[in-house]
Structure 1
């Protein structure tokens, strides 16, 4: 009977056949232990010489790392195994024998591993990170579907920047200029006026020449937009969403968290509601912590976010940033027009901002004024202004960076390991 490693628990004391790769091996006298993987998981295969015969046993002893096989054996319970089972091998068939696999169990430098990213993905830790990433994606669709959101796919090729910045990848769209999207937000606002609550999940691109462990050139964003919802309503959705992601990973990726040696007790603390501090309070706190160079009107960098995060064991919202350092579309606070109704959500343990969101300007005259202040003109922006002419309503939205969230929940230090094939300042392959 053919099965997978993930399904062996259904076949205890039965003989099964699994297509696998040899991850590692060791032998001791008349017994060989094969560490096998099939994409769904890892299992130990035990080969006893007296069971399989001398010829097959010798073949097993000389198998090379990452050779592919069909392995047949009996599934038995094993409490010492992280999986809870092992395979008592009765036979195997070699599909392809690998030679000189470049990634060995020894230590390799990050550049070497990135050059071999297409192979590095096969390792236990990278496999665990990708499984956690997949669970976060699955839980995202679950959360927004359960909350009544409609999935919308905004265009990747756009005529202008959503943020009004110049960090864009330029291309030609026949005889016009076009850019790779850095956010689907503007289009999602249009969709929210049609469907109420919408979200997108897709790639975004930032031509930002940054080499920090928190930045990628190409990354994935989850961007909800909600009609008839104000800033406070949005914060509740955000914290419930993040709580759902963490709880889903704890429930469904326990083994992967163990592989990564993630402190699960830290994740178990993540329960909504999250603490909230204003930008003003954050500035005051940072000055008390010794950041004398930070002044009102400055944006926060990684050290500032880390200091704020370390004062909490939950994600923390920083709200009401100065309008001058935020995007043109953010609704000013009616009690203080110098600050916007916006928030960044800072993850614990030094992982930085994972969400940015705000209430959007819905008044036509105010948005028109913002257009003039930011020099936004032409057909690339006219349609967005028009949304404020026909049945405009208060609305809010946010964007969650998938890779930063995966890094935090999985406990991965560098964001380059949280996406299958990272695009970095100096890397366009593999």
Structure 2
């Protein structure tokens, strides 16, 4: 009996006979040799079938294999420096599990993006898409490890909510047994409640925003990690953010080198990511844009071209701090020295990938929170539970939200965010 091994662990078996259970990604033949491009979900490797070294039945079986046929391949692991894994399999036997139908939709020629998204259930089998989603998994794990190691408690906020958490109208409404309800666009307010019970918490789950946007940075369903911390102010909040980003990038560099190589990612950009990160104020950013001949006024919000221009000035992610109070959410704490701006920041990724984190110190004063709710014309009765947090043991506290897909997009060097989630939901796509 030979060992069944995963391709990602193949380096442990050099010179040994092993079995791979997977699928045929591609095949080419050269006279008396078949070259089988194999995948098993953990990676890709080439299997070499030499006619003179296998039984006739094995060689003939390889002729019948179609793209994406499932099979079990047994052979000897040997080093091959031309391979991305550094190894190949000298095949001894091939056992088909299922011969795939002819005409696999995603052939090895070029396809349009719409076609590929229509066949996303199959496209994710390809090397680059597989690599992106495996890096997403690594980032997901790194986030959870980072907070677990620092004593944060994971809490799960509801997806169905009675109101907007941020005062926005861009919500997906649902009929909740005859009452109006919405799919949540953030778990933050609920995480604040949990922070008053546990001290340090984070939520990690899907969020929904009904933005009619078609940009490469927007999805209508995406995942966010949202920590909230009691007795934490603005400065400490930024420190947690930059430590988390440095931690995530290091984990990917340490554990996903092959996937980054498949994507052709220039690692020098990622190797530069070290805390502390540079900071500029919103006002400094506005002046920077004006010097760059952008038409931009104090009080405007940044768009993608503005964020890209600013990011190009730095090698690391950059914090833009102290945004105007009027363009930020109602719960953000104003700067005591200048109430026109908030004690908050956006973290802008390098290389034009835009905002990946938004965070702030939260308002902890009851009267001021009530004032902001009134100013924003929000229905106070729907926020009574949130207001209770300021009635019963209120403390200074802070938090932030990181968009998982935008982070994956940046670390992978992917142009469009739709490739960073298994099944994208965008303005014109709800299938497959």
CA distance in 2, matches of 1:65, 1:85: 22
Residue number in structure 2 paired with 1:280: 283
Quote the offset at 1:332 in angstroms.
0.4
CA distance in 1, matches of 2:378, 2:303: 28
Which deviations, in whole Å up to 9, do the C-alpha atoms of 1:80-132 show, x marking residues without a partner? 22212211111111111111111111110000000000000000000100011
Quote the offset at 1:8 in angstroms.
2.5
Structure 1 consecutive aligned stretches of length 4 or more whose deviation exceeds 3 Å:
none
SS at match of 2:428: coil
Aligned with residue 218 of structure 2, among 191, 215, 220: 215
Quote the offset at 1:177 in angstroms.
1.1
**Are 1:109 and 2:112 matched, yes or no?**
yes
Residue number in structure 2 paired with 1:122: 125
Residue number in structure 2 paired with 1:242: 245
Quote the offset at 1:63 in angstroms.
1.7
Residue number in structure 1 paired with 2:262: 259
Describe how 1:158-169 pairs up with structure 2 within 5 A.
158-169=161-172
**Are 1:429 and 2:420 matched, yes or no?**
no
Unaligned runs of 5+ in 2: none
CA distance in 2, matches of 1:412, 1:146: 29
CA distance in 2, matches of 1:191, 1:339: 27
CA distance in 1, matches of 2:96, 2:381: 61
**Are 1:419 and 2:424 matched, yes or no?**
no
RMSD: 1.0
Quote the offset at 1:378 in angstroms.
4.6
**Are 1:73 and 2:111 matched, yes or no?**
no
Residue number in structure 2 paired with 1:354: 356
Residue number in structure 2 paired with 1:175: 178
**Are 1:382 and 2:379 matched, yes or no?**
no
Which deviations, in whole Å up to 9, do the C-alpha atoms of 1:269-313 show, x marking residues without a partner? 01000000000000000000010x210110000000000001111
Aligned with residue 12 of structure 1, among 5, 11, 14: 14
The answer to whether the 8 Å contact 2:84/2:262 transfers is no
Aligned with residue 199 of structure 2, among 196, 199, 215: 196
Quote the offset at 1:72 in angstroms.
1.1
CA distance in 2, matches of 1:276, 1:11: 48
Describe how 1:223-234 pairs up with structure 2 within 5 A.
223-234=226-237
Aligned with residue 319 of structure 2, among 314, 317, 320: 317
Q: Using the TM superposition, name which of 173-182 and 54-63 deviates more.
A: 54-63
Which deviations, in whole Å up to 9, do the C-alpha atoms of 1:400-428 show, x marking residues without a partner? 00000000000000000000000010000
Aligned with residue 157 of structure 1, among 143, 160, 171: 160
Aligned with residue 62 of structure 2, among 60, 63, 87: 60
Which deviations, in whole Å up to 9, do the C-alpha atoms of 1:237-263 show, x marking residues without a partner? 000000111111111010111100001
TM (normalized to structure 2)?
0.98
Residue number in structure 2 paired with 1:96: 98
CA distance in 2, matches of 1:205, 1:105: 34
CA distance in 2, matches of 1:321, 1:8: 51
Describe how 1:37-52 pairs up with structure 2 within 5 A.
37-52=39-54
Q: Report how many aligned residue pairs link the two structures.
A: 429
CA distance in 2, matches of 1:19, 1:59: 16
Unaligned runs of 5+ in 1: none
CA distance in 1, matches of 2:378, 2:216: 33
Residue number in structure 2 paired with 1:304: 306
CA distance in 2, matches of 1:362, 1:106: 58
CA distance in 2, matches of 1:92, 1:62: 11
Which deviations, in whole Å up to 9, do the C-alpha atoms of 1:129-155 show, x marking residues without a partner? 001100000100110011111101000
Q: Using the TM superposition, name which of 372-381 and 246-255 deviates more.
A: 372-381
Q: Using the TM superposition, name which of 59-68 and 417-426 deviates more.
A: 59-68
